[in-house]
């Protein structure tokens, strides 16, 4: 079985490879969409059919709690208009210092957005506001 750290590095490097192929904006869009596609499928494989439709805010809170319990970050929570991920798995795996523009940050946003779409009939959009090693702050609308 493959170790989680190796898989994480593969995802981060794949995101950078996409950036080399289609440019910065294209990679961000592709990786966000990949997360949006993967999120509902992952959640469905974990819990099956979701029995209710939640309001967007509650779906966002639950998405954060589920991703936290899956180990994507030590803590992920909604703080006002922000989603804050502390001690996340992605930022320490990014090579270089331009963390805010790494496409993998948009993949993580897409995962959260995909989880919300699975639990809600509304969509949420997350935009990175602050990214540093061990912390990501997204503004959500």
Strands (E), the chain: 73-79, 82-88, 126-132, 135-140
Q: Which domain holds residue 26?
A: 4-140
CA nearest to 115, candidates 90, 89, 83: 83
pLDDT tens by residue, 64-108: 999 999 999 999 999 999 999 999 999 999 989 999 999 999 999
pLDDT of residue 50: 76
CATH of the domain at 57: 3.30.1380.20
Residue 134 has a pLDDT of: 96
Kindly state the tokens that stand for 122: 């509304």
Please give the tally of structural domains in the chain: 1
Token pair, residue 82, equals 């922000």
């Amino acid at each position: 079985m493959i170790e989680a750290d190796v898989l994480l590095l593969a995802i981060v490097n794949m995101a950078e490879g996409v950036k080399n192929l289609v440019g910065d904006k294209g990679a961000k869009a592709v990786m966000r969409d990949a997360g949006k596609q993967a999120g509902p499928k992952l959640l469905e494989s974990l819990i099956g059919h979701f029995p209710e439709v939640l309001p967007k805010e509650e779906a966002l809170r639950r998405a954060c709690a589920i991703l936290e319990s899956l180990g994507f970050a030590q803590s992920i929570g909604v703080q006002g208009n922000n989603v804050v991920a502390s001690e996340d798995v992605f930022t320490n795996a990014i090579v270089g210092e331009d963390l805010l523009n790494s496409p993998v940050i948009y993949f993580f946003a897409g995962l959260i957005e995909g989880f919300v779409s699975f639990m809600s009939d509304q969509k949420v959009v997350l935009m990175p506001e602050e990214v540093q090693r061990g912390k990501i702050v997204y503004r959500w609308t």
